């Protein structure tokens, strides 16, 4: 068991480092090519930070472990809104931006419902053409967000740029290329070790790959978001936390499952459809009244979300 745990920890570390190197290298090249930091932040950075989850999902699907693929995505979405948002709100109330109510939540709920009805009506499978539809929807959503952000930024600052967290460009093109290559290698080998350790752990513990995907993989890939959210909450800089978490959920469904299903049809077990996806829909639905009440997700709401996550995880494990 120690070997499997070691593979998980090392694999996750290499995945995170690989994703960071990929983001820095690609962002630097894009900025040097005079692409707006706003566009870089909403495309390259967003994609790069989800690259570990994407590689894990593709690796699991190709290895014949679709429950790990679906468990990773669905479990991560529940973890984002239950564990991460819950802990963040308990540390300090989170202000709800107007866009979170008007745009982020409807798209998050719509993406979740789309996934549910696709697998429920289509013999429990996400096929290639459905993955293409997911990606088209993601591109449309991203273009909409970029245009909206540009308009708002111009109105506020008279500039095209926005205050987004984008790594500064380096002075050397070859350094950027080296970062991208090293990042891709890190993502590949990190996914190999992380998924391999998870499958070995499932065998050793005698539990299903679905359980490992929803608990170990989902929690592991959500750790960066958890750490970032906790630090932001302690610094009382949580204004964008809610939108970022819902954006991550949208990206998980439309991008990760979209790309993975284009490479390999994803079979979905009945347990994931009738238990885990329903839990994801419930947590997302419950979030709306919390957001509308006083336009703030407070400590009581955070405690409710955290309890729901703990109860859900308990029902998965037993």
Q: Give pLDDT, residue 157.
A: 56
What CATH number did the domain enclosing 142 receive?
1.20.1420.30
**How do residues 124-158 score in pLDDT, each as one tens digit?**
899 999 999 999 999 999 888 888 877 776 666 55
Number of domains into which the chain is organized: 1
18 vs 8, 80, 95, 139, 181, CA distance in Å?
15, 22, 32, 24, 9
Q: What is the model's pTM? A: 0.86
The percent of residues in the chain predicted with pLDDT above 90, rounded, is 41
Pairing of strands 296-297, 266-267: unpaired
Query: Per the structure block, which two tokens stand in for 187?
Result: 């993502």
Q: Give pLDDT, residue 254.
A: 95
Is the dihedral angle over the CA atoms 46, 47, 52, 57 positive or is it negative? positive
Determine contact, residues 233/92, Cβ cutoff 8 Å: yes
Torsion of CA 126, 250, 87, 212, to 10 degrees: 20
Determine contact, residues 83/251, Cβ cutoff 8 Å: no
Nearest alpha carbon to residue 160 among 145, 178, 170, 147: 147
3-state secondary structure of 96: coil
**Host H or E run for residue 266:** strand 266-267
**Host H or E run for residue 172:** none
* Other beta carbons within 10 Å of 33: 9
**How do residues 45-95 score in pLDDT, each as one tens digit?**
767 777 888 888 999 999 889 999 999 999 999 999 999 999 999 998 888
Query: 227 lies in which domain range?
Result: 2-317
3-state secondary structure of 126: strand
Mean pLDDT of the region 271-279: 95
Q: Is 64 left (phi over 0), alpha (psi -120 to 50) or beta?
A: left
191 vs 3, 11, 58, 108, CA distance in Å?
16, 6, 9, 26
Q: Give pLDDT, residue 160.
A: 47
Q: Give pLDDT, residue 154.
A: 66
């Amino acid at each position: 068991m120690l070997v499997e745990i070691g593979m998980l920890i090392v694999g996750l570390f290499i995945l995170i480092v690989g994703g960071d190197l990929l983001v820095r290298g690609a962002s630097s090249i894009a900025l040097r090519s005079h692409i707006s930091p706003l566009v870089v932040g909403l495309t390259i950075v967003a994609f790069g930070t989800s690259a570990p989850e994407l590689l894990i999902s593709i690796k699991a699907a190709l290895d014949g472990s679709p429950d790990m693929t679906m468990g990773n995505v669905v479990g991560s979405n529940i973890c984002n809104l239950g564990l991460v948002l819950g802990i963040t709100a308990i540390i300090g109330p989170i202000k709800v931006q107007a866009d979170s109510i008007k745009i982020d939540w409807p798209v998050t709920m719509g993406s979740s419902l789309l996934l549910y009805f696709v697998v429920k009506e289509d013999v429990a499978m996400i096929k290639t053409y459905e993955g293409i539809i997911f990606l088209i929807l993601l591109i449309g959503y991203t273009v909409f967000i970029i245009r909206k952000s540009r308009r708002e930024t111009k109105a506020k600052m008279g500039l095209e740029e926005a205050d987004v967290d984008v790594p500064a460009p380096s002075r050397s093109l070859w350094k950027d290329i080296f970062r991208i290559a090293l990042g891709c290698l890190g993502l590949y080998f990190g996914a190999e070790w992380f998924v391999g350790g998870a499958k070995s752990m499932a065998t050793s513990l005698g539990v299903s790959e679905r359980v490992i995907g929803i608990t170990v993989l989902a929690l592991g890939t959500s750790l960066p978001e958890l750490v970032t959210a906790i630090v932001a909450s302690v610094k009382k800089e949580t204004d964008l936390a809610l939108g970022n978490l819902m954006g991550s959920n949208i990206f998980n469904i439309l991008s990760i499952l979209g790309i993975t299903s284009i490479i390999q049809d994803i079979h979905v077990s009945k347990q994931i459809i009738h238990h885990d996806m329903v839990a994801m829909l419930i947590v997302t639905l419950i979030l709306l009244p919390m957001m509308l009440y006083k336009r703030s997700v407070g400590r009581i709401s955070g405690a409710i979300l955290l309890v729901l996550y703990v109860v859900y995880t308990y029902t998965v494990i037993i």
